[in-house]
Amino acid sequence: MRRDEIVTGASQGGAAARRGGGRGTTGRRRASHSLEAVISEAVAILDESGEPGLTFRALAARLGTGVGSIYWYVSSKDELLERAADSVLAGVLAQTAHVGTDPDPIADVRAIAIAFYEATVNRPWLGAYFLQDSGTQINGLTLYDRMGRQVMRLDLTRRQQFDAVSAVMAFVVGVAADRGQDPPQEVRDGRVSADEFVADFRAQIRELGEQDFPFLFNIADEFAAHDDAEQFRAGLDLLLAGIRQQAAG
Amino acid sequence: MRRDEIVTGASQGGAAARRGGGRGTTGRRRASHSLEAVISEAVAILDESGEPGLTFRALAARLGTGVGSIYWYVSSKDELLERAADSVLAGVLAQTAHVGTDPDPIADVRAIAIAFYEATVNRPWLGAYFLQDSGTQINGLTLYDRMGRQVMRLDLTRRQQFDAVSAVMAFVVGVAADRGQDPPQEVRDGRVSADEFVADFRAQIRELGEQDFPFLFNIADEFAAHDDAEQFRAGLDLLLAGIRQQAAG
DNA sequence: CTAGCGTATAGAACAGCGTTCGATCACCGA
DNA sequence: TCGGTGATCGAACGCTGTTCTATACGCTAG
């Protein structure tokens, strides 16, 4: 996979320069696809069965086509995953299009970060692929820029602005990577309830002993009761408090 | 892969209950291995060629054994990766064994976070696998606890302690995931120098235009000049400042 | 109307992967 | 001496990403 060129949504880019469109002016051929259809179906598979579930054969079957056809739109599985991740970012961008009006710039940063986070909920596969793309994929850059515009309104040096935006983005990705992997197979299947799982985990922490793991022991109840989204916002607010303090002098 | 049991280093755990040891009392048999040898060699391969480079056949060749033998020590590739990640964490723990003496607890948290971060430098494969393990692998939990002990010294509620430690860990992982994916293949191979790559990227950002991407345009020079480790510390300090402020009241 | 070209579809074939399985070996207590 | 157990090994299986070639369709030139 190349990363030395910024890939915009519609134009250039190796074998994937082929645009969708599918239907021309008249009827269709054998089976008409499009880049958008390929990627949205890929996202659907990823959401249902995760990254291991996304195979070219499974995707082809779902599109009612052959494996070879997919390679007309996408040159490798890496590119497929990149485009899938980027298409999710497009949704985040749409949701944060209005941002930039709040008198407090940090409130806007917060809104963007939360929208970004929420897009990763129930999408474990995104965590690993996000920042991999954000460097070169257009939607990742746009999101980065959108957050940066708000930070520019603060009284910070350029370097401080750069560091602040990078920190917030890294934090969101880190939380996403964590949260995504959390519930094991048994819980996803429904074989074990979430409450049972949490209770088991708490019991196991307790068994480790207070002497050897005082913090874990101390925190066991909080773990059992905590809400992921709430914890994300709590951490985000700590980071934003640091930024605000820096901007204040 | 199960995640409902905490896997300690030496004891239970499915097929991998088999401990190393290798040499018994006398001479060896055909070829004597050990769990430690398998995992340290796996880490070596991961460091050299990344996750796709780690195959059972490559690992077997390097150990001078057959593929089947590896399954005696490890029950799947997932477990191999988990143990590899956890073995790196063991190094972080060794490096932070002394921590806990600073009068300022936050300085200790900082030291642990930096040691953790530094272990991820030049180990792109770690990012994706870290927090996946830290929930159930013993070294991940130990690291979590070690950082938590320092936070316990602060004037925070249990919930605040929990959130603070989780935030710092997530931030480190997020940065690691980012930094790991950054240099593309050409740079790693040496075909393109790092300076050239950065210069190209800056030029491409400039081409996007100041109107559409004001922040990126503004930051282009900073990007070209920035140091990853420095930026990590800058972000970490923002987060720690927020924690300190919360502890102060 | 048709010849031909570019776009797009389709599936057979290939190398390589993780994983399973049975055969084999080395040691050890009886 | 002899099973039994711990450990090693490689052939074999099913599946994967990817490549290749053949084919069908729509459009335009003549």
Residue B215 and residue A165 in contact, taking contact as beta carbons nearer than 8 Å = yes
Q: Which residues on chain A are in Cβ contact (under 8 Å) with B231?
A: 162-163, 166
Average pLDDT, integer, range A40-62: 96
Chain A window 19-38: residues with CB closer than 7 Å to nucleic chain D are: 24-30
pLDDT at B176: 84
Q: CB of B52 under 7 A from strand D?
A: no
Question: Across-strand partners of A7?
Answer: A137
Distance CA A228, CA B225 (A): 36
Question: Cα Rg for chain A, rounded, in angstroms?
Answer: 21
- List % helix, strand, coil for chain B (3-state, nearest 5): 70, 0, 30
pLDDT at B33: 77
pLDDT at B192: 72
Q: Which residues on chain A are in Cβ contact (under 8 Å) with B200?
A: 4
Which residues contact residue B244 at a Cβ distance below 8 angstroms, ignoring those fewer than 6 apart? Answer: B106
- A137-196 confidence digits (pLDDT tens): 788 889 999 999 999 999 999 999 999 999 999 999 899 877 666 555 566 566 677 788
Chain A window 142-181: residues with CB closer than 7 Å to nucleic chain C are: none
pLDDT at B137: 80
Task: Quote the crossing angle between the two packed helices B105-120 and B158-181, to the nearest 10°.
Answer: 30
Q: CB of B58 under 7 A from strand C?
A: yes
CB atoms within 10 A of CB A199: 12
Task: Indicate the domain borders of chain A.
Answer: 14-81, 85-248
**Sign of the Cα pseudo-torsion (B241, B242, B244, B248, in order):** positive
pLDDT at A118 over 50: yes
Average pLDDT, integer, range A229-249: 97
Question: Across-strand partners of B137?
Answer: B7
For B14-81, CATH gives: 1.10.10.60
Among A113, A105, A146, CA closest to A246: A105
Distance CA A127, CA A90 (A): 16
Q: Where is average pLDDT lowest: A29-33, A225-229, B76-80?
A: A29-33
Does domain A85-248 match CATH 1.10.3720.10? no
pLDDT at B49: 93
**Span B88-248 CATH architecture:** Orthogonal Bundle (1.10)
Taking only the tens of pLDDT, chain B with its 249 residues reads 333 456 665 333 344 445 444 333 333 345 667 999 999 999 999 999 999 999 999 999 999 999 999 999 999 999 999 999 999 999 999 999 999 889 999 999 999 999 999 999 888 888 767 655 555 688 888 999 999 999 999 999 999 999 999 999 999 989 987 766 655 556 656 667 778 888 888 888 888 889 999 999 999 999 889 999 999 999 999 999 999 999 998
pLDDT at A177: 77
Of residues A63 and A24, more confidence is placed in: A63
Distance CA A244, CA A156 (A): 10
Distance CA A129, CA A84 (A): 9
Which residues contact residue A224 at a Cβ distance below 8 angstroms, ignoring those fewer than 6 apart? Answer: A198, A199, A201, A202
Q: CB of A57 under 7 A from strand D?
A: yes
- A84-111 confidence digits (pLDDT tens): 999 999 999 999 999 988 999 999 999 9
Distance CA A184, CA A202 (A): 15
Please, which positions of strand C sit below 7 A from a protein CB?
Answer: 8-13, 16-22, 25-28
Residue B216 and residue B208 in contact, taking contact as beta carbons nearer than 8 Å = yes
B155's enclosing H/E stretch is none
Residue B13 and residue B4 in contact, taking contact as beta carbons nearer than 8 Å = no
Residue B92 and residue B119 in contact, taking contact as beta carbons nearer than 8 Å = yes
CB-based contact A127 B128, cutoff 8 Å? yes
pLDDT at A135: 56
Residue B108 and residue B242 in contact, taking contact as beta carbons nearer than 8 Å = no
Among B135, B90, B80, CA closest to A178: B135
